[in-house]
Homo-oligomer: A and B are copies of this chain.
Amino acid sequence: MILEVATLSVSEGRGAEFEAAFAQASAIISSMSGYLSHELQRCIEVPSRYVLLVRWASLEDHTIGFRQSEKYGEWKRLLHHFYDPPPMVEHFEPVHGAEPRT
């Protein structure tokens, strides 16, 4: 399982509109092959910042399966005009043994 971390900066004053568009767009990402779960969280210190965490079965489910899909165009059309600057996206994998030893 991999974790996508997208750091999103939304243009000043457009937060509510972005959140409404995201609710609509979330149906797109949730329907993709290899999608496991997502959460959108709003920054407490800087309310125009958000983090989107998406769990995928594999890296390629995101980078190829989603980004090269037809539906990705619709996702971008719904969301990308809110971002300033463009999102920063990175992928992570769990560090095993990072839990407390019992």
The reply to whether the CB of A93 lies closer than 8 angstroms to some CB of chain B is: yes
A30 touches B100 (CB 8 A): yes
Q: Which residues of B contact A27 (CB under 8 A)?
A: 100-101
Beta-carbon contacts under 8 Å, A8-52 to B: 19-20, 22-24, 26-27, 30, 38-46, 49-51
Contacts of A94 in B (CB 8 A): 39-42
Residues of B within 8 A of A26 (CB): 98-100
A45 smallest CB distance to B (angstroms): 6
Chain A residues at the B interface, C-beta cutoff of 8 Å: 2-3, 5, 19-20, 22-24, 26-27, 30, 38-46, 49-51, 53, 59, 90-95, 97-101
